[in-house]
Amino acid sequence: MRADARKNYEQLLAVARLAVTKDGADASLRDIARKAGVGLGTLYRHFPTREALLETLLRTAWDELAAKAHELETASAPDEALVSWLRDFIASVRTYRGVVAVMMSALNDKESALYASCAEMRASGTRLLARAQAEGTARTDIDGTDLIALAGALAWIGDQPAIESRAERLFDVVMSAVRECPATDEHCKQRGK
Amino acid sequence: MRADARKNYEQLLAVARLAVTKDGADASLRDIARKAGVGLGTLYRHFPTREALLETLLRTAWDELAAKAHELETASAPDEALVSWLRDFIASVRTYRGVVAVMMSALNDKESALYASCAEMRASGTRLLARAQAEGTARTDIDGTDLIALAGALAWIGDQPAIESRAERLFDVVMSAVRECPATDEHCKQRGK
DNA sequence: ACCTGAACACCGTTCAAGT
DNA sequence: ACCTGAACACCGTTCAAGT
């Protein structure tokens, strides 16, 4: 890349990070180009789609998450590993408001610049879930996509100012369902409905 | 209301219903006015905000939900009443894509045209929850706002094409957590972690 | 190679002018 | 009383023209 192009690229990324932090995933691209002191076409040259820009902003965090998943697979108790990774995953998705919806739609579109990252996250979650399921510490009637859907829903809660303060506790509530052991139903019924 | 005004109002509502069904809560107001054969100012006269328009579109469904809540409070087993009402609530919110986010933000803004409706829904949910809690069939560490947050999160899942097919089962998963009896944790621990 | 910014087709919202 | 639509300040996206 030419030196001036590189400079524009870096400047765009720095400004975009600020803008997306402030306004979320649907921050104005025009405004980003303007504040970066760059023509609109230059932004589109470096980041042909909004997804491409978001992908670059999230790259590092997602690489770390993938690495963390591999660590946890060997280093921790399966159920604790699963919950711990999901907590990190949600925190990462919540870095920027609104990315969780973009991510979910990317999962349905192999052409999206975010597809590979999202599919990798889902694969990591699926492996951690399978390990806990094999051990009997995670319910067996859900799969990796269900898990990502639940995590996404929890991230969504964190994006809503009216209920954001409840996000952490509701994470625990939902996790209690994911970790529920198969006997629970009968157990509860015994206690008299 | 003058006869011509009434006609415009009805026409706007009919067109808006189609548009919001198709494009969700952020459907183009301009487009609605255009298709209703009415000036933009006329739309704004009848519905000063987008919330006001959505409120009118949802009015009937929400009145029914409130009535249903009161019925269930006397007619059904507390836990079944709670789950049944939440299912209806989510179905109602999901009538139009994207309303769930608008609703959550309305809950934080008493000036919103949707505030009263949303607060009423929350109040209904809170009563049904309290009844189940009193009976010991709902966990006691959540309140009505938590319940609406969880229901909203489930409605959000239903709004995402990539995971929509999982919405029903994940409803059951989350409900299992809401209905969890206090002893579950110890129970699970006994089974060996 | 890379950059610029006008051009196009859209928004939401307001308000002066009309009937 | 009620309606219209131009005006204003924004978008995203493309692409001819420039260096």
Instruction: Extract the tokens encoding B90.
Output: 């989510």
Is residue B191 scored above 70 in pLDDT?
no
Domain positions in chain A: 1-48, 51-190
Is residue A192 scored above 80 in pLDDT?
no
Instruction: Extract the tokens encoding B188.
Output: 């699970």
Cα(A177)–Cα(A173) distance, integer angstroms: 7
CATH of domain B1-48: 1.10.10.60
Q: Indicate the pTM of the whole model.
A: 0.94
pLDDT digits (tens, 9 = 90+) for B5-22: 999 999 999 999 999 999
Tell the residue number behind the tokens 């010991």, with chain if given. Answer: B136
Superfamily covering domain A51-190: Tetracycline Repressor, domain 2 (1.10.357.10)
Helix (H) or strand (E) holding A56: helix A50-75
Percent of chain A with pLDDT over 90: 91
Q: What is the CA radius of gyration of chain A?
A: 20
A183 neighbourhood in chain B, CB within 8 Å: 187, 191
pLDDT score, position A182: 57
A140 neighbourhood in chain B, CB within 8 Å: none
CA distance to A141, A180, B174, B181, B187, per residue, from A185 (Å):
14, 9, 14, 10, 11
pLDDT score, position B1: 82
Distance B82 CA to D15 C1' (A): 58
For range A126-154, the mean pLDDT: 98
Cα(A32)–Cα(A54) distance, integer angstroms: 13
Is residue B183 scored above 70 in pLDDT?
no
For range A43-67, the mean pLDDT: 98
pLDDT score, position B192: 35
Question: Do A180 and A137 contact (CB within 8 A), yes or no?
Answer: no
pLDDT digits (tens, 9 = 90+) for A16-48: 999 999 999 999 999 999 999 999 999 999 999
For range B170-175, the mean pLDDT: 98
Q: Who contacts A114 (Cβ-Cβ below 8 Å, separation ≥6)?
A: A51, A54, A55, A58, A102, A103, A106
Instruction: Extract the tokens encoding B67.
Output: 């009535």
Q: Who contacts A22 (Cβ-Cβ below 8 Å, separation ≥6)?
A: none
Nearest-CA distance from B152 to chain A in Å? 8
Is residue A188 scored above 80 in pLDDT?
no
A45 touches strand C (CB under 7 A): yes
Q: At what angle do helices A167-178 and B144-159 cross, to 10 degrees?
A: 70
For range A84-99, the mean pLDDT: 98
Cα(B66)–Cα(B70) distance, integer angstroms: 7
- CA atoms within 13 Å, Cβ hemisphere of A70: 6
Segment 50-89 of chain B within 8 Å of chain A by CB: 77, 79
Segment 155-184 of chain B within 8 Å of chain A by CB: 156-157, 160-163, 166, 169-170, 173-174, 176-181, 183-184
A77 neighbourhood in chain B, CB within 8 Å: 193
Is residue B66 scored above 70 in pLDDT?
yes
For range A91-109, the mean pLDDT: 98
Distance A30 CA to D17 C1' (A): 21
B22 touches strand C (CB under 7 A): no
Q: What is the mean pLDDT of chain B?
A: 94
